[in-house]
Structure 1
């Protein structure tokens, strides 16, 4: 593959997932590691789910809803959002990207993950 050529993003990724795909693929090649390619795809899909959950939480007038007995309870999306963020962190760590001067630092990778999660707020 020619240098600086980013592989096409997997079908079905939304904007947030495609952005994460491009940012990581622009720096790292996974041609010889199909298992990492799969982990990256799952991280991108997880990033898309996080975006959708965050949009739902952001659009809500209140973070509490009525429970089965009429009591106020936290929106289920809030707990799901926390779990999906933890999953994204695990998936990105599982890529075990090298720490050398030509590669992203952990801080840069974290920033890319944060941009994928939070966008340009």
Structure 2
């Protein structure tokens, strides 16, 4: 399993993290067997699980980062999860800058097209 280490911040909940990273709450629970995911503490590091369903890719398209884009808006617009974006672009980290071109997999069941 590919994990993104995430440091819990004020106001984080399982639901908010699942929405931010486009993954099910249950996946976060399963990936953190030794963490009380019902009582998250600020500063605690948890695993945000991510799988890359290559078999579900139907090709790819290019997404041009726009002014005001955040990681969350890019993931929501493209309807993929963070791991897919990182893996498809061979990145360990994303620094979004307007005008940056990202390769975005088209995942089966989504309707994003640039």
Task: Bin the TM-score by the shorter chain.
Answer: under 0.3
TM value normalised by structure 2: 0.26
Bigger proportion of residues as helix = 1
Bigger proportion of residues as strand = 2
Query: For the pair shown, which has the larger CA radius of gyration, 1 or 2?
Result: 1
